[in-house]
Structure 1
Amino acid sequence: MSDITRSSLPEHVAIIMDGNGRWAKQRGLPRIMGHRRGVEAVRETVRAAGECGLKYLTLFAFSSENWRRPVSEVNDLLGLLKAFIRRDLADLHKENVRIRVIGDRDSLNDDISALLIEAEQTTRDNTALTLVIAFNYGSRDEIARAAASLARDVALGKIDVSAVTPDAITARLDTAGIPDPDLIIRTSGEERLSNFLLWQAAYSEFLFIPDYWPDFDRKTFFSAIDQYMTRDRRFGGLPDQVAVAGA
């Protein structure tokens, strides 16, 4: 990675980790092998994010639409999540990484919910990188839940309808308190958001790379950061207004 200053780094990078199955298929392997190699890419990326001083890293681990996949593959993915938390939680805690989970938890099995809660509670006071895991996450569902929460408060007379503002919606999203992503990366060459952080991505920079997720490594990550730092971010204003808008 090139020489950088703290002010030039993105504060928050989000990644759509795509291509595990295609990576495996190219090699004549079962899809689960691609997912397992993808977990290694997660570990390397988290380490790289910590090395460069990133404050927030969000990983799209399991979407609300992924339940439509074959039961065997869903079970494999859930098993990998459990294994990752059980194996890596102590190391992440030691590295001062805070874990935060976003997504709908109401429909999750108790064992999954318990692991997610344990990960969050164990690391809640850590102050280095915040690793945001988007699990059973869908952005439209997230926005709908935030809107419903505001609607209930309006109906109960707790707030006036005039209080339903963009800031009020932001405060009720799963990502409340987390800055919007500066950079969203998607691997595998696909160029779409796939229901990921739709509200939060209003002024994000996008980078679509051809590598399948299992091939994503620290070199690729640092290259993405370098590319981000060449972008001219205006936030809808003129160049001389960027510093104010992005403050």
Structure 2
Amino acid sequence: MTSFAARAPVPAHADEPGLHSSASIPRHVAIIMDGNGRWAKARRLPRVAGHRQGVEAVRRITRAAREQGIEALTLYAFSSENWRRPEEEIGDLMGLLRHFLKNEIKELTREGVRLRILGNYRALKADLVELIDDAVARTATNTGPILAIALNYGAQAELVAAARRLAEKVAAGMPVSAIDEAAIDRELDTDGLPPLDLMIRTSGEQRLSNFLLWQAAYAELLFVDTLWPDFDGECLAQAIAAYGQRQRRFGGL
């Protein structure tokens, strides 16, 4: 597990935001944003306070990712398993999502960011779906970095849906031999995004939690102790510096 308080040495100045070489910068970073509840508990606050601070961290990291040259940032906001949480907490999370979409879309548009949504977000309440559709449409022609938000997302369900679509294509006449890795990629929610280079999970947990299982096949994994509400641009810069020290062989020598 990586602890940013006691990490391996990095190249000179590599821990300063914006000073990475282009070769060491991951094109696509995904983050499992974990630790909101523990952040609140440690301060004897309600869980929603942790989620509010988590939204502030989203703002910080979205901005920092742009500044540090990341092409695509994917954030795990709400999994298909999160419906098991208390109804009140789900309501708080959806309220914060509404607030984010209403208040951040102007900045995203101004910065040229394209918004993408992964997962079956249309299962959410109608007013929230309308907000999401509007935000995606308003940023669709932007040519800058991509912010992908995973909502009601589960990687296993994503793969099942891709398999079903391919089966339908085979039934319609597509040869089975046409099914390869690229064909599966095209059926996933991440179609059009750069290959996943780096996946970060905050809070010290070390599992993928049904997130981007196919896409993470050769991604570098980084598990850090920092709770999500405390994750900031410096933490992201340190994660990129750690990524830059990895030797990616993709099965070779």
For this structure pair, what is the TM-score category when the shorter chain's length is used for normalisation? Answer: over 0.9
Q: Which residue of 2 aligns with 1:231?
A: 246
1:128 paired residue among 133, 137, 144: 144
The offset of 1:167, in angstroms, is: 1.1
Tell me whether 1:31 sits opposite 2:18 in the alignment: no
Q: Which residue of 1 aligns with 2:9?
A: none
The offset of 1:108, in angstroms, is: 2.2
Question: Residues of 1 paired with 2:20 and 2:236: CA distance?
Answer: 14
Amino acid in structure 2 at the alignment position of 1:44 = R
Within-5 A mapping of 1:1-40: 2=14, 3-40=19-56
Unpaired stretches in structure 1, ≥5 consecutive residues: 239-247
Q: Which residue of 2 aligns with 1:242?
A: none
Q: Which residue of 2 aligns with 1:243?
A: none
Q: Which residue of 2 aligns with 1:92?
A: 108
1:75 paired residue among 67, 76, 91: 91
SS of equivalent to 2:123 = coil
Unpaired stretches in structure 2, ≥5 consecutive residues: 1-12
Q: Which residue of 2 aligns with 1:49?
A: 65
> Residues 46-76 of structure 1: CA distance to partner in whole angstroms, max 9, x if unpaired?
1110111110000000001101100000000
Amino acid in structure 2 at the alignment position of 1:81 = L
- Paired residue total: 237
Percent of aligned positions with the same letter in both sequences? 54
The offset of 1:195, in angstroms, is: 0.1
2:221 paired residue among 206, 210, 232: 206
The answer to which of 119-128 and 223-232 deviates more is: 119-128
Q: Do the aligned partners of 2:118 and 2:189 also contact (CA within 8 Å) in 1?
A: yes
Within-5 A mapping of 1:79-158: 79-157=95-173
The offset of 1:125, in angstroms, is: 1.3
> Residues 149-196 of structure 1: CA distance to partner in whole angstroms, max 9, x if unpaired?
011111222x11111212111100011111221000000000000000
CA RMSD in angstroms, aligned pairs only: 1.0
Q: Do the aligned partners of 2:37 and 2:51 also contact (CA within 8 Å) in 1?
A: yes
> Residues 207-239 of structure 1: CA distance to partner in whole angstroms, max 9, x if unpaired?
10001100101111111011100000011112x
SS of equivalent to 1:201 = helix
Q: Do the aligned partners of 2:60 and 2:232 also contact (CA within 8 Å) in 1?
A: yes
Question: Residues of 1 paired with 2:143 and 2:64: CA distance?
Answer: 17
Q: Do the aligned partners of 2:24 and 2:243 also contact (CA within 8 Å) in 1?
A: no
Question: Residues of 2 paired with 1:107 and 1:88: CA distance?
Answer: 22
Give the 3 Å change call, closer, same or farther, for CA 106–94 of structure 1 in structure 2: closer
Tell me: higher relative CO, structure 1 or 2? Use CA pairs within 8 A at least 6 residues apart: 2
Within-5 A mapping of 1:165-184: 165-184=180-199
**TM-score between both structures, scaled by the size of structure 1:** 0.94
Question: Residues of 1 paired with 2:172 and 2:127: CA distance?
Answer: 35
Moved over 4 A (4+): none
Q: Which residue of 1 aligns with 2:177?
A: 162
Q: Do the aligned partners of 2:113 and 2:145 also contact (CA within 8 Å) in 1?
A: yes
Question: Residues of 1 paired with 2:228 and 2:121: CA distance?
Answer: 25
Question: Residues of 2 paired with 1:68 and 1:77: CA distance?
Answer: 13
Question: Residues of 2 paired with 1:176 and 1:204: CA distance?
Answer: 16
Question: Residues of 1 paired with 2:73 and 2:231: CA distance?
Answer: 15
